[in-house]
Structures are given as structure tokens and as C-alpha cells.
Structure 1
């Protein structure tokens, strides 16, 4: 059983490794270096000029470390056929599940401890004693252990493993990883799910509003709101950019908002190929240029909506007015050039 799991783990890791060169391309590495340098400079300034009596740095540090507790899923590498062929090996499957929980605890727990130690100056400068900080790390590990224990119990139906639920969990975990890679390139083995999300219907009307009916604009708008994680990805990046704008109301904040707008448009490029495997779309009596133009229109509408929300940051600092020219450059210069290479 252990050899079988190791073989599947190696095969999946090799499958994922092929896409790393697309993820860590020149643009993404440049963005990461810029972001890392920015964070280092800001963190150093915060430690050297720590605001006395302010609870915000400590509160954000506690929030970040607690949120990390909910990161990390069990990697069991179960497959659909196991529900039949490995049913007699349930005892070994239970042992494998416990080993997966231990590996998850060690890997993600180590990352959580590492991040918490990086934030140690904030805790200590806020008045915490060393023993309190160590006790907090232990508390976080206990919290992670309780979460894993509860997760494990969810895979059991009485004393028996619920193999259907276990297999579904592993499929979701792997699809989540492959979905991330699909934002950068075409990925084999990925399956997307479509959800109605009726509460987003008002947004659908805004995104598809045009002078003349465009079938591709309709399709892309529906895919953006209902297919995969594109809409929630936009919402997460928008939220992060707004938080950074509130925390850093100066030119650095404007730069960070612009950076996250670039990341948003870059990630949404993968939406262009969402219908590549739909044979029926090739039967439409529509030119390819119409498809490309519809995609550009959708991205411009999303950019316009994001910019309007981000302009609310002008209440804090007039410099955030620079968001408009940044978005114009991204839409009129970056997108056409990137899409030309992307489509070719």
C-alpha cells in the first residue's frame, strides 16, 4: 500500500513539475521580487519605528497566523477505482490516512511556526513576554491538530471509512492545484465545475450589456461568474489591493494596487481558453476576431469595475487617482500585446 501511494505521489508531483516553468516565468519572478523587496523594506521600517500603543500591527499578525491554521489539506492520493479494488485493504487505508495527517501537520505546522517567528518582533515590541510568544506558537499548533483531528473524523462513517468522501476530497485537492497552474498555461487532467450562482445574475447583465448581441461576450461573462474560480480570484485580489491601499496610503500603496491589478489581468488571461474543449463552440458562424474582441471587452469591463471600487481610496490620499492611468496602460498596451502572443 505504501509503495502504491508513493508511486502515485511521484506521478502527480512530476505532472505538476512540468508546469512550474510556466508559473515562474520572467514576469512573475519580477513581480515576486518587487513584492518581496517591498515587504522587506516596509517590515524593517515598521520594526525600527514601531508605533507605540497601536494594536493594528499586533492584530494583523495574530489574524495572519491564525488564518494559516486553516491552510493545508490531507494528501491521500486516492483514486476513483480504489472504492472497489482497495475495499478489502481498509485497515491499511486507515493507516495511510493517519500518516497523511501527520505529514500535513509537520509540513504546514512548520510553515506556520516559521511565519510566526518572522513576525516575532511585532509580538515582542507590543509588550509580549518571550514565554507568552512561545505559548502562542504552541496554541497555534494545538489548534491545527484539533482541526486535523476533526477533518479525519469526517472521513469515517462509524468505524468504517467513507471511501467516496475520501476520494472526492483528494480529487478536489488535486484539481485545486491544477486549477492554479491553468491560470498560466493549458493543463491536462483538469475538470471545471459550473455553478448557477443566481445571486450574481445582476453582474451578468452589466458584463454582457452591449450595443449589439455578442454570443462570445455572453459565454465569457457566464464563464467568469460561474465557471471555476475566476470571479472569486478577482474578489480576493481586489480585497488585498484595497487592504494594502488602506494600510499604505502613499505612492507605495498606489504601486501595490497597480501591481495587484496587473496580477488580476494576468490571471484572467486563462479565461480565454476556457471553451477550447467545447466542440460545439467551433460550429458558431462567428469570426475568430469577434471572439478576441469579446474577451477584450469583458476584461475592460472588469477593469473598469475594479478601478471604480479602488478609487474610493482617494478618501485617504489623492495619489490613488493614479489608478486610472495605470489601468488604461494595462488595458491599452499590456493586454493587446499579451493577448497577441497568447492567441498565436
Structure 2
């Protein structure tokens, strides 16, 4: 079973690295740097306003750490065929799950450490915690995450009825532990978390007397990989991943603005496909919401200009593949319309979407900065960017490449 885990882990990592190279491309990395820089700058300015402990610091820190505990799930790399072919190896499967537990704990541990380090200045000033207290708090968070994954391992066995409520039990216990760490003493949180981990370890020694829930084991891993690939699908095409379609009749008034005339059939198709599809519409909504939040907390108008322009560009750039969304449907090739008409319809869609995003961002800028000269510069520059992207950049990207025949 050890060799089987090593083989599957190597295969899994090669596949993940292939998609991660596409996700963390130049555009995304640049945007991520600016977003983290903007958030860090806003966070630094907010901390300057805290000169003494405040009552809401501990509840806020508790909630944030409790939310961070939800990051990361047990990665077993089990396939559906294993429910049949690995059934004779069930007795040796605990060693396989032990290695899966260790692997699954790696990335969440890094996230927990960074979360505690990010909260440390806030808790130092706002909650009056000491360095030792912050250290004990970080240890508590790591032990609780290890307990969470250990309970996930136990949940794969037919042990007891309480397994159906493992999540509720874990988060209830974690709430008590973190509350004790904040309001009693951080060392108390460490002791309680370790006691919980010891109890889970003792329970794991008894798994040899129970059978595996093979169907549940395969179903949970399939769901985990589906959610992961759905995230990758926002940046690149993942084989076998298709976006879901929802009726969304409450958005019909938007689609009715585009009249289904004989010379704008593509415009009607694009707007309907965008409103009903979950892939591009979800990505668009995330960019608009995230960009608006970051703009609201931007304290420097130059930084706000860069972030606003960057989010507009990222939105338009991510919408460009939607132009070829229906190329594989034979009925669209029966339209008596030219490629130029299709391109003009798509450019109107991009202009409309980027214009709505620009309008929302402009409202946020006006709320934060009022109507000043920096505000005018930001609005004019980003408006020109939208026009340049739609009228110049988009036609160049959609222009079919000529093949050179040698």
C-alpha cells in the first residue's frame, strides 16, 4: 500500500503542477502581487489606528481562526475502481490513509502559520497578547487542523453513529478551545487541542476492527477533485469539466435589451449564454466584488488607479475565450452571418460588461475619494482603458491567425 500511495502521489503532483503553471500565469501573479500589496498597505494603516486593546479584537480573531480551520480536506487519491479491486487489501489500508493524512496536513499547516502571522500584529495591539501567547495560539491552530484531518480518516470507517456529525462536533470543540485560548490562557487552548488529538489517535488504533466505507471514500475524493478542477477551469480548459447552466428567469429583462434581430443573433446568443452559464458569469461577479472591496480600502489614489485598471483588464482578458464558446456547436455555423458580425456582437458584450464593472468601481471611488482631481484622473484613465480594450485589443486577439504553409 505504501508503493501504491507513492505512485498515485507522484501522478497527482505532476497533474497539479501542470494546471498550477496555467493558473499562476503572468497576469494572475501580477494581479496577486498588487492585491496583496494593497491589502497589506490597508491593513498596516488600519493597525496604526489601534493604540490600545479593544473589546472586539478577540472575537474577531476567534472567528478568523475558526474560518481558516476549514481550509484543506483529506486527500486520499482513491478512485472508484478501488471499491472493487482494493477490497482484499482493506486490512492494510490504514497505512495508506496515514500517509494521506500526512500529505493532507502539509498545505493547511502553511496556511495556518501565515494566518497566525498575519493576525499577530492585530492581536498584539488589539487584544494585548504576548509573543508566547501568539506562539501557543499558532500551535493550537495546527493541532486542531491535525485533529480535523484525523477525524476525517475515522469518518471513512463504519465505527459509530457520531461520525455523521463529525463536522459539527469538530467546529463546536474548536470554538471552545479557541475561546479558552483567548479568554483564559493560550496554554489552556494547547492542552485542550492536544487532548482532542490524543483521543482521535486512540480511536484510530481501533479501526482494524471496522470496515471501510468504500463508497463514501470514493465519493468524497471525487467531490474534492471536482471542486479543485472547477477552480482550475476558471483559468484554463479542464477536460471533462463543463459549466452548469441555470435558467435565471429573473435576468430576462437584461437579455431583452438585446433584440433577437436577424443581424444580431450572436449578440442574443452571447448575452443569453453569459447570463445562464455559471463559468464566465461567476468569474465576472467575483472580479467585480473583489475589485470593489479592494478599491474601497485603497488609501492612495495611485494604487487605486493601478488596481482599478488591473481588474478591468483581467475581467476583459478572462472573457475573451467566451468568443469561442459555441464554435463546437454545428448549428451556429448555419447562421447566415459573417465572422465580422459575430465579432461585433461579442465586442458589444465585452463593452457592456466592462462598462458595468467600470460604473460600479466609479461609484466606489466617488464614495471613498469624493469628486476631486485624483478621482477624475482615475475615472478618465480607466474609461479610456475600457474603450481601448474593446476597440483595439479585443479585435486583435480575436483576429484569426494566418497559417504559413511551407
Provide the TM-score with structure 2 as the length reference: 0.68
In terms of mean alpha carbon deviation, does 241-250 or 56-65 score higher?
56-65
Corresponding residue number in structure 2 for 1:268:
319
- Partner in structure 2 of residue 12 of structure 1: 12
1:232 lines up with 2:282 in the alignment: yes
Cα distance, 1:302–1:186 mapped onto 2, change above 3 Å: same
**Equivalent residue, structure 1, for 2:105:** 105
What is the CA-CA distance between 1:276 and the residue it aligns to?
4.6
In structure 2, the CA distance between the partners of 1:84 and 1:107, relative to structure 1 (3 Å rule), is same
**Alignment-derived partner of residue 345 in structure 2:** 294
The corresponding residue for 1:315 is 367
- Cα deviations by residue, 1:136-173 (Å, 9 ceiling, x for unpaired): 32443354345435544554566544444433433343
Matched with 1:144 is 145
Q: Which residue is equivalent to 1:191?
A: 241
Structure 2, gaps ≥5 residues long? 160-209, 401-406
Distance 1:111-1:304 versus aligned 2 partners, 3 A rule: same
Q: CA contact under 8 A between 2:266 and 2:345: conserved in structure 1?
A: yes
Q: What residue is the counterpart of 1:129 in the other structure?
A: 130
Q: Is the 8 A contact 1:50 1:125 kept in 2?
A: no
Q: Structure 2 vs 1, CA of residues 309 and 185 (structure 1 numbering), >3 Å: closer, same or farther?
A: same
CA distance in 2 between counterparts of 1:304 and 1:180 reads 26
Partner of 2:86: 86
Displacement of 1:69 in angstroms is 2.1
**Whose radius of gyration is greater, 1 or 2?**
2
Of 237, 244, 249, which aligns to 2:294? 244
Cα 1:234/1:285, change in 2 over 3 Å: same
Shift of 1:104: 1.7
Q: TM-score, normalised by structure 1?
A: 0.78
Map 1:149-228 onto structure 2 (within 5 A).
149=150, 151-152=152-153, 155-156=156-157, 159-187=210-238, 189-196=239-246, 198=247, 200-207=248-255, 209-213=257-261, 214-228=264-278
Give the conservation status (yes or no) of the 8 Å contact 2:280–2:319.
yes
Q: CA deviation at 1:241?
A: 2.3
Residue 62 to residue 222, structure 1, CA distance change in 2 (3 Å): farther
The DSSP-based 3-state class of the residue aligned with 1:169 is helix
Q: Provide Cα deviations, 1:12-68, integer angstroms capped at 9, x if missing partner.
A: 332343445544444344334444544555555556x35325868887766554433
| Gapped regions of structure 1 (runs ≥ 5) | none
Give the distance between the partners of 1:289 and 1:58, measured in 2 at CA.
59
Aligned equivalents of 1:301, 1:113: Cα separation in 2: 42
Q: Contact between 2:83 and 2:215, CA under 8 Å: does it hold in 1?
A: yes
CA drift at 1:72: 1.7
Summarize the Cα distance change of 1:70–1:277 in structure 2 as closer, same or farther, 3 Å threshold. Answer: farther
Q: How many residues align?
A: 340
